[in-house]
């Protein structure tokens, strides 16, 4: 697959991988060409397409570059698809307005961009229980036992502009008092099966060149940690997400849905 973009190519990458998920028996080989904005840059991509033919997906604003790409792909009888065309055409019809393309417009340094940067900074500072004294400034607080995907989920949410802190629940160590007194953020508990947690913890110990059976990797001990975690969440009415078979993206989507439901509930109460 050849992915050609005049910006960062993030949109193309996402669409290509989502489409390939429907063909699990095949392993895609991606050729990525980002920031293609001149005929010389496009010619390099075309040379590789000719030498290694494959489906071409693109997002190009420049009409001459687009015409050159479509013409050459037509000569090579290679599928060439502008992935945004159907959406743009539908919007034009619905809004009865002409589109005004802006190169890299989705990456503009606007208020939304700086909101995401602010959220990332907050999330990095408040990782793994740090700076719990200002936990109430978060939008979301994720809590859970070790290796329940708190940090990667927090970072993914921060990339969506959501200030996220995460608090580990450690055996025999009480969580910071601020966790149980926050009022502003949504607090969500993350759990997984004891088997899955044990597997991840063992891999972590191996990566750190540490060996030996300890309570940290013992499934019965982990089950006790999870039981304590569930009771803590039940006591405070915090929702729980089981991440055993969820990707980070799916867990984050579930958190965002909980945020929306909470917001809608507050709106109906007011």
What Å distances lie between residue 4 and 38, 58, 196, 239, CA to CA?
A: 12, 5, 39, 42
Give the count of beta carbons closer than 10 Å to the beta carbon of residue 106: 11
pLDDT band at 51 (very low <50, low <70, confident <90, very high): very high
Q: What per-residue confidence (pLDDT) applies to 105?
A: 52
Residue 11: predicted pLDDT: 85
DSSP 132: G
Between 107 and 164, the higher pLDDT residue: 164
Beta bridge partners of 11: none
- Would you give the distance in Å from CA 70 to the centre of its chain? 32
What integer is the mean pLDDT of 221-225?
97
Q: How confident is the model at residue 118 (pLDDT cuts 50, 70, 90)?
A: very high
Q: How large is the average pLDDT for residues 142-165?
A: 96
Q: Output the pLDDT for position 103.
A: 59
Q: Please say whether the beta carbons of 53 and 78 come within 8 A.
A: yes
Tokens of 118: 């602010």
For the cut 70, the answer to whether the pLDDT of residue 266 exceeds it is yes
Counting residues of the chain whose pLDDT is more than 70, the rounded percentage is: 94
Q: What is the pLDDT of residue 108?
A: 53
Q: Scanning the structure block, which residue is given the tokens 């009409």?
A: 63
Percent of the chain's residues with pLDDT above 90? 75
Looking at the domain 111-269, which fold is it? Rossmann fold (3.40.50)
At 97 the pLDDT is 84
Which of 9-13, 82-86, 125-129 has the highest mean predicted lDDT (pLDDT)?
Answer: 125-129
- Residue of higher predicted confidence among 105 and 79: 79
State the Cα–Cα distance between residues 125 and 154, nearest whole angstrom.
11
Q: Where are the domains of the chain?
A: 2-107, 111-269
d(CA 18, CA 231): 37
Per the CB < 8 A criterion, the answer to whether 119 and 102 are in contact is no
The overall average pLDDT reported for the chain is 91
Lowest mean pLDDT among 134-138, 158-162, 265-269: 265-269
Stretch 117-139: mean pLDDT:
96
What are the pLDDT digits (tens) for 155-183? 999 999 999 999 999 999 999 999 999 99
Between CA 78 and CA 191 the distance in angstroms is 47
């Amino acid at each position: 697959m050849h992915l050609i973009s005049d910006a960062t190519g993030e949109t193309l990458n996402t669409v290509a991988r989502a489409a390939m998920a429907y063909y699990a028996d095949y392993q895609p080989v991606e050729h990525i060409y980002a920031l293609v904005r001149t005929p010389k840059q496009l010619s390099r991509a075309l040379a590789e397409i000719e030498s290694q033919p494959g489906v071409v997906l693109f997002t190009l604003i420049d009409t001459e570059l687009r015409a050159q790409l479509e013409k050459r792909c037509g000569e090579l009888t290679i599928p060439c698809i502008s992935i945004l065309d159907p959406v743009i055409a539908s919007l034009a019809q619905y809004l009865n307005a002409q589109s005004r393309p802006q190169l890299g417009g989705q990456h503009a340094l606007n208020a939304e961009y700086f909101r995401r940067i602010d959220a990332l900074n907050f999330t990095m500072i408040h990782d793994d229980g740090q700076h719990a004294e200002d936990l109430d400034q978060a939008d979301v607080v994720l809590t859970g036992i070790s290796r329940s995907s708190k940090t990667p989920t927090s970072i993914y949410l921060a990339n969506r502009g959501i200030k996220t802190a995460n608090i580990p629940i450690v055996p025999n160590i009480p969580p910071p008092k601020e966790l149980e007194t926050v009022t502003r953020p949504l607090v969500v508990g993350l759990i997984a099966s004891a088997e899955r947690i044990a597997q991840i913890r063992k891999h972590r110990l191996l990566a750190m060149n540490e060996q030996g059976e300890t309570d940290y990797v013992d499934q019965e001990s982990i089950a006790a940690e999870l039981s304590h975690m569930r009771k803590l969440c039940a006591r405070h009415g915090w929702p729980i997400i089981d991440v055993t078979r969820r990707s980070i993206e799916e867990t984050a989507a579930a958190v965002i849905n909980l945020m929306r439901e909470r917001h809608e509930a507050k709106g109906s109460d007011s």
